[in-house]
């Protein structure tokens, strides 16, 4: 299926939950409501025509200092899906407000989401409801804060040993 | 007495000569510099001709700690522990600019030079250093080993 | 305490750090009352490629549970990319998969070019293909060599590193460095190929083929090697897809997915190559897949070398070809000085290979992104202004607002770059989708149920590269 058909199929199934869609630079993207995420992702994986059996990437973006997005949700969680039998891709995004940083987990659908979600928790501080073991992946346990957020300065060091330079 | 000093000096230089040509390295390899470390250790730029060709992966059996590659704050306690477990005499070589000063990783995750946590004997800058630089650093280390007071 | 806690939902931070402390200091007694031994293959370990920690729970020699801990080489790639302009991210991308740095470089450049919507020259695409394949070969040589060394076959390691040296000499002639090359630029390359490139590549490939033949004789039917690798570390096809494993590991499990075939980029659709696919997904199949891929990479590079297009030979700084220098002089005398070079420049030998006639062959003719060649910069006002506008803070490459995802076939699998731009000269968010993170997440599936001695060959065949895993 080409990208336009994929988005059409998602829209026909999820009508109101699909907030927006675009195909800039050839990447077909759908912005959905956060509450509808588990259903949308399950449909993407289980529907025969879509067949997205591979979760290529799961990441987040912090739109705190993005010009022109002041009233949009601060974070956005981004799923890149790929289908091995059909060889097509789609990007699913959902906005996450700053005062409610919880996203339903995708681990029951794709086991790789375990580590991707741990990394998002580590770097951004978004919790995943239903994740069995949400601990830091790349940083050490004693680290405070979430470094990929825009309000974390790049050179603020928290050494475990050695001087605080 | 003069004669005793003569003997200890000769013993020192003999021991120094022996120690500098039988370096057992502990390659604490983390990152890209490890590729150049491998290249230095292999046939083209052979480090075995300096007597330093046998890496020992146990700190108890090694005398030179080659810290190769970026050390992050998560890894720093491990490095310190390995250094503490090494037996005397021991030397530390900071291989690569990430270990010398942190390199261009001036961020929340990188130790800005391992000399903030360990005493370093030889610094080999480069990102990664060419094998020729590594051999030059190794020869400087050999000079340092030979010239020092040998304790045993 | 068991390595993987069975407590539901979020782990309280105090318990987690206490557990980490206990593992680290070797204290703590298994609470469950079983006799299983918890052994830590710690971060500083020769076979862990430096920086992964596998906490294993052993029942005798059998591995019952593993907990893989990564992050010891986290160097904040994604945060550092947000600090500087787009081309300043190039050295950081080198150090992602540091054994095949050219692939990362060009992947990032292509992602930004996709965002900008510019098309590079055909010659640039061919050169990117050739250099990527050379990088891929050196990655596979390092992987197979290191994993053979960890099994005791030290000779194979020495042979393969010898072949890698020949390839690195070629790369050094092109880019100036052996390992961290920073050769790609948005819109093209840093410089064109040197004149003796083809001869150098042929010599390096001949050496590599000899080494591969020798390694085949030493390893492929070697009873010890086969016994240790066959049937070990199996990753089934369903597991591989569920864990989003790509690259040689997925192909060894039987799925013929290769980004170069699935979504061809650069000029891969014009080149003829096979994709080696395994059957059982064990370590031996991964070894065979990698050996076959090296031969295919050499085939691709040779085809691309044969078809490498030239470029315009005599062009002025606007890209217009001209016949004779005398024409220039006549036009100048008639007062038509607009667009002419004002001063003729002799470039320093340090800039050899970057003269205008080479520069235009590999860089897109896009003034918004590509630095003008040095003769133009130093010799004309337009060139100087163009250079200034691309380099100074606040100016520079400014892609339109938006997001893009571009995937290339890295040596370990699909290397994707997801870039979000806010219209300024600094990337807003750069995400690197690491190809070796999924196999590391799936590592516990490959190790559990096996023996302790199987951890080393399995881990070696995953080809974890720390720079890419931890970014």
Give the model confidence (pLDDT) of A141-163 as tens digits. Answer: 889 899 999 999 888 888 888 77
More confident residue, C369 or A149: A149
Phi, psi angle pair for C88, to nearest 5° = -70, -15
CB C105 within 8 A of CB C404: no
Average pLDDT taken over every residue of chain C: 83
Phi, psi angle pair for C84, to nearest 5° = -115, 175
Domain with A58, as residue range(s), is: 3-129
pLDDT at residue C320 tops 50 = no
Q: To probe the interface with C, which of A76, A78, A117, A141 has the most C CB atoms within 10 Å?
A: A141
For chain A, how many structural domains are there in total? 1
Q: What is the pLDDT of residues A68-116, one digit of tens each?
A: 888 889 999 999 999 999 999 999 999 999 888 999 999 999 999 999 9
Distance, CA of C276 to CA of C462 (rounded, Å): 17
pLDDT at residue C32 tops 70 = no
Closest chain C residue to B106 measured between Cα atoms?
C80
Segment C76-88 shows an average pLDDT of 89
Q: How far is C162 from chain B (nearest CA, A)?
A: 7
Residue C363's pLDDT is what? 83
More confident residue, B151 or C112: C112
Average pLDDT taken over every residue of chain A: 90
Residue extents of the structural domains in chain C: 7-69, 89-311+397-470
More confident residue, C344 or C184: C184
Residue C355's pLDDT is what? 79
On whether residue A156 sits in a domain, the answer given is no
Q: What is the pLDDT of residues B42-86, one digit of tens each?
A: 999 989 999 888 888 899 999 999 999 999 999 999 999 999 999
Q: Which CATH architecture has domain C89-311+397-470?
A: Orthogonal Bundle (1.10)
Whether a cis peptide bond, with omega within 30° of 0, leads into C249 is no
Distance, CA of C270 to CA of C267 (rounded, Å): 6
Which residues 6+ apart lie within 8 Å of A109 measured at CB? A41, A42, A45, A55
Pairing mode, strands A75-83 and A54-62: antiparallel
For residue C402, the tally of other CB atoms under 10 A from its CB is 17
CB A29 within 8 A of CB A90: yes
Segment C255-280 shows an average pLDDT of 92
Residue C24's pLDDT is what? 53
pLDDT at residue C430 tops 50 = yes
Token match 């969680």: residue? A77
CB C150 within 8 A of CB C46: yes
Chain B 91-150, CB below 8 Å of chain C: which residues?
104-105, 107-110, 127-128, 130
On whether residue A122 sits in a domain, the answer given is yes
More confident residue, B116 or A164: B116
Segment C114-134 shows an average pLDDT of 88
Size of interface B-C (CB pairs under 8 A): 96
Global pTM? 0.86
pLDDT at residue A165 tops 60 = no
More confident residue, B148 or C148: C148
Which candidate, B110, B63, B100, B109, places its Cα nearest to that of B82? B63
Residue C312's pLDDT is what? 35
Residue C316's pLDDT is what? 40
More confident residue, B55 or C121: B55
Q: What is the pLDDT of residues C460-470, one digit of tens each?
A: 999 999 899 98
pLDDT at residue C252 tops 70 = yes
**A162 with B111: Cβ contact below 8 A:** yes
Phi, psi angle pair for B54, to nearest 5° = -110, 105
Residue C374's pLDDT is what? 80
C250's enclosing H/E stretch is helix C248-252
Residue C315's pLDDT is what? 36
Token match 């700690």: residue? B65
Q: Which of C25-29, C328-332, C448-452 has the lowest mean pLDDT?
A: C25-29
Residue C292's pLDDT is what? 95
Whether a cis peptide bond, with omega within 30° of 0, leads into C438 is no
Residue C84's pLDDT is what? 85
More confident residue, C15 or C184: C184
Q: How confident is the model at residue C10 (pLDDT cuts 50, 70, 90)?
A: very low
Contact C262/A at CB under 8 A: yes
> Tell me, what CATH number does A114's domain have?
3.30.460.80
Q: How far is A152 from chain B (nearest CA, A)?
A: 9
Give just the sign of the alpha carbon dihedral B128, B131, B132, B133: positive
Phi, psi angle pair for B72, to nearest 5° = -95, 170
Which candidate, C334, C98, A89, C97, places its Cα nearest to that of B39? C98
CB A94 within 8 A of CB A31: yes
Segment C107-130 shows an average pLDDT of 88
C144's enclosing H/E stretch is helix C122-150
Segment B100-125 shows an average pLDDT of 92
Closest chain B residue to A142 measured between Cα atoms?
B74
Q: How confident is the model at residue C11 (pLDDT cuts 50, 70, 90)?
A: very low
3-state helix, strand, coil in chain C (%, to 5): 50, 10, 40
Residue C326's pLDDT is what? 53
Q: How far is A162 from chain B (nearest CA, A)?
A: 5
Q: Which of C20-29, C62-71, C333-342 has the lowest mean pLDDT?
A: C20-29
Angle at which helices C283-306 and C122-150 pack, to 10 degrees?
A: 150
Q: What is the pLDDT of residues C45-63, one digit of tens each?
A: 877 676 899 999 988 888 9
Q: To probe the interface with C, which of B61, B69, B73, B126 has the most C CB atoms within 10 Å?
A: B69
Per the DSSP assignment, residues forming a β-bridge with B131 are none
**C180 with B38: Cβ contact below 8 A:** no
Q: Is the ipTM of this complex over 0.90?
A: yes
Segment C308-312 shows an average pLDDT of 68
Which candidate, C175, C181, C180, C177, places its Cα nearest to that of C194? C175
C37's enclosing H/E stretch is strand C37-41
Closest chain B residue to A146 measured between Cα atoms?
B108
On whether residue A56 sits in a domain, the answer given is yes
On whether residue A136 sits in a domain, the answer given is no
Which candidate, C235, C266, C254, places its Cα nearest to that of C408? C266
C-alpha pair distances (Å), B45 with each of A42, C141, C244? 55, 18, 39
- What per-residue string of b and e applies to B109-134 under the rule 16 or more CB within 10 Å gives b? bbbbbbbbbbebbbbbbbbbbbbebb
**B79 with C165: Cβ contact below 8 A:** no
Q: How far is C235 from chain A (nearest CA, A)?
A: 14
B85's enclosing H/E stretch is helix B76-85
Q: How far is A58 from chain C (nearest CA, A)?
A: 9
Measured between its terminal Cα atoms, the distance across chain C in Å is 30
Which residue among A25, A112, A141 sits closest to C441, beta carbon to beta carbon?
A112
On whether residue A160 sits in a domain, the answer given is no
Per the DSSP assignment, residues forming a β-bridge with A29 are A22, A91
């Amino acid at each position: 299926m080409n990208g336009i058909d994929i988005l059409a199929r998602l829209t026909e199934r999820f009508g109101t939950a699909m907030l927006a869609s675009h195909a800039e630079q050839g990447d077909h993207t759908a912005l959905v409501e956060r509450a509808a995420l588990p259903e949308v992702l399950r449909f993407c994986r289980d529907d025969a025509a879509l067949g997205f059996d591979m979760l290529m990437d799961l990441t987040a973006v912090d739109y705190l200092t993005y010009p022109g997005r002041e009233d949009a949700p601060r974070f956005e969680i981004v799923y890149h899906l790929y289908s091995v039998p059909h060889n097509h891709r789609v990007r699913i995004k959902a906005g996450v407000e700053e005062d409610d940083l919880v996203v339903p987990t995708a681990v029951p659908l794709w086991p790789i989401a375990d580590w991707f979600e741990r990394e998002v928790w580590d770097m951004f501080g978004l919790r995943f409801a239903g994740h069995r073991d949400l601990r830091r992946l790349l940083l050490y346990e004693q680290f405070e804060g979430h470094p990929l957020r825009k309000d974390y300065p790049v050179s603020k060091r928290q050494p475990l040993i050695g001087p605080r330079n | 007495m003069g004669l005793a000093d003569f003997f200890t000096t000769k013993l020192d230089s003999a021991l120094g000569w022996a120690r500098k040509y039988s370096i057992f390295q502990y390659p604490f390899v983390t990152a890209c510099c490890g590729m150049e470390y491998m290249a230095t250790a292999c046939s083209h730029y052979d480090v075995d001709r300096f007597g330093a060709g046998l890496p020992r992966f146990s700190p108890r059996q090694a005398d030179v700690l080659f810290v190769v590659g970026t050390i992050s704050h998560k890894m720093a306690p491990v490095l310190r522990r390995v250094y503490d477990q090494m037996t005397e005499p021991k030397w530390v070589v900071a291989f690569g600019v990430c270990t010398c000063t942190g390199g261009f990783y001036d961020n929340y995750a990188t130790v800005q030079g391992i000399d903030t946590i360990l005493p370093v004997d030889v610094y080999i800058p480069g990102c990664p250093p060419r094998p020729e630089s590594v051999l030059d650093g190794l020869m400087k280390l050999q000079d340092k080993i030979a010239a020092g007071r040998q304790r045993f | 305490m068991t390595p993987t806690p069975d407590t539901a939902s979020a782990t309280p931070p105090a318990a987690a750090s206490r557990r980490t402390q206990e593992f680290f200091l070797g204290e703590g007694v298994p609470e469950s009352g079983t006799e299983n031994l918890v052994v830590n293959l710690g971060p500083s370990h020769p076979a862990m490629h430096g920086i992964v920690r596998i906490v294993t729970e052993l029942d005798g020699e059998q591995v019952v549970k593993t907990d893989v801990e990564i992050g010891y080489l986290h160097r904040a790639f994604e945060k550092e990319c947000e600090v500087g302009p787009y081309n300043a991210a190039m050295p950081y991308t080198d150090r992602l998969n540091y054994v095949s740095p050219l692939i990362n470089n060009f992947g990032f450049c292509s992602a930004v070019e996709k965002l900008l919507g510019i098309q590079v020259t055909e010659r640039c695409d061919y050169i990117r293909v050739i250099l990527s394949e050379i990088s891929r070969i050196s990655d596979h040589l390092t992987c197979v060599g290191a994993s053979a060394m960890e099994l005791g076959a030290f000779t194979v390691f020495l042979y393969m590193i010898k072949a890698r040296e020949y390839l690195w000499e070629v790369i050094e002639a092109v880019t100036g460095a052996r390992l961290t090359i920073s050769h790609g630029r948005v819109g093209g390359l840093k410089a064109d190929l040197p004149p003796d490139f083809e001869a150098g590549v042929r010599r390096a490939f001949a050496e590599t083929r000899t080494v591969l033949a020798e390694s085949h004789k030493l390893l492929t039917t070697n009873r010890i090697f086969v016994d240790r690798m066959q049937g070990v570390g199996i990753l089934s096809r369903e597991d591989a897809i569920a864990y989003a494993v790509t690259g040689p590991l997925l192909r060894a499990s039987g799925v013929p997915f290769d980004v170069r075939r699935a979504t061809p980029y650069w000029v891969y659709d014009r080149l003829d190559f096979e994709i080696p696919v395994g059957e059982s997904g064990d370590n031996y199949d991964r070894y065979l897949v990698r050996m076959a891929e090296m031969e295919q990479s050499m085939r691709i590079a040779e085809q691309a070398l044969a078809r490498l297009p030239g470029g315009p030979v005599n062009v002025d700084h606007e890209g217009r070809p001209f016949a004779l220098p005398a024409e220039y002089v006549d036009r100048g005398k008639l007062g038509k000085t607009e667009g002419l070079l004002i001063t003729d420049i002799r470039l320093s030998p340090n800039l050899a290979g970057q003269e205008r006639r080479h520069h235009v062959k590999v860089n897109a003719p896009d003034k918004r992104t590509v630095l003008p060649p040095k003769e133009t910069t130093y010799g004309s006002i337009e060139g100087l202004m163009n250079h200034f506008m691309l380099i100074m803070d606040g100016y520079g490459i400014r892609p339109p607002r938006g997001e893009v995802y571009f995937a290339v076939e890295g040596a370990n699998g699909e290397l994707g770059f997801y870039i979000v731009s806010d219209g300024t000269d600094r990337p807003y968010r750069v995400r690197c989708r690491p190809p070796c993170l999924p196999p590391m997440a799936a590592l516990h599936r490959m190790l559990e149920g096996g023996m302790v001695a199987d951890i080393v060959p399995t881990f070696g065949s995953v080809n974890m590269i720390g720079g890419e895993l931890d970014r």
